[in-house]
């Protein structure tokens, strides 16, 4: 119910959920027209992302997923990891994945997390901040799923 009060006030809401296809993760993924899947170049990340996409596709009918590669060593390796993951998904699922970009592996990002200050504020001209700005721009043009919407009930309506 607390999210419904934000309707009309924001264009995008990014919710950081646990990896995998838990109930809460599946709820938030299926509640958005632009699910953004964060992928890291590790086998467990591929498995978790695949499980979430499969569950959202089968249980909620989603077909469009946006993917960002996090902690990438380079733009080239990020695209290679995305391509590898997209091939796996394409082999077994009828979904479309769109590459949104990458966030580089960075000690500066780790420091900004410890300081609790966004890197875009502390180092606005940095490669890392530019990567987040590119991601924000890409999200605005990402393919959308058609949703039936989420209906929130108060206690009297249950």
| Cβ–Cβ < 8 Å for 128, 103 | yes
| DSSP string computed for 52-82 | HHHHHHHHH---EEEEEEEEES-HHHHHHHH
Any idea which of 13-22, 58-67, 87-96, 98-107 has the lowest mean pLDDT? 13-22
Judged against a pLDDT cut of 90, whether residue 79 lies above it is answered with yes
Nearest to 133 by CA among 97, 99, 103: 103
pLDDT tens digit sequence for 44-61:
999 999 999 999 999 888
What mean pLDDT is predicted for residues 9-30? 77
How much is the pLDDT for 24? Answer: 77
* Percent of the chain that is helix, strand, coil (3-state, to 5): 50, 15, 35
How much is the pLDDT for 60? Answer: 85
Pick 12 or 69 by higher pLDDT.
69
Any idea which of 21-30, 55-64, 149-158 has the lowest mean pLDDT? 149-158
pLDDT tens digit sequence for 129-146:
999 999 999 988 888 888
Question: Model-level pTM?
Answer: 0.82
Pick 13 or 129 by higher pLDDT.
129
* Structural tokens at position 61: 């009918």
Pick 157 or 52 by higher pLDDT.
52
Measured distance CA(6)–CA(92) in Å, rounded: 36
Judged against a pLDDT cut of 90, whether residue 14 lies above it is answered with no
């Amino acid at each position: 119910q607390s999210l419904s009060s934000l309707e009309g006030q924001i264009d995008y809401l990014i919710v950081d959920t646990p990896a995998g296809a838990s109930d809460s993760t599946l709820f938030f993924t299926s509640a958005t027209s632009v699910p953004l899947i964060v992928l890291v170049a590790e086998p467990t990340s591929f498995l978790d992302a695949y499980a979430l996409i499969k569950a959202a596709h089968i249980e909620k009918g989603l077909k469009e997923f946006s993917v960002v590669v996090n902690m990438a060593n380079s733009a080239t390796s990020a695209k290679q990891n995305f391509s590898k993951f997209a091939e796996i998904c394409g082999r077994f699922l009828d979904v479309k994945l769109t590459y949104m970009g990458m966030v580089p592996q960075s000690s500066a990002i780790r420091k900004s997390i410890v300081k609790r200050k966004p890197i875009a504020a502390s180092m606005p001209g940095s490669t890392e901040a530019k990567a987040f700005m590119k991601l924000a721009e890409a999200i605005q043009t990402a393919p959308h799923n058609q949703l039936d919407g989420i209906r929130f009930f108060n206690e009297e309506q249950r």
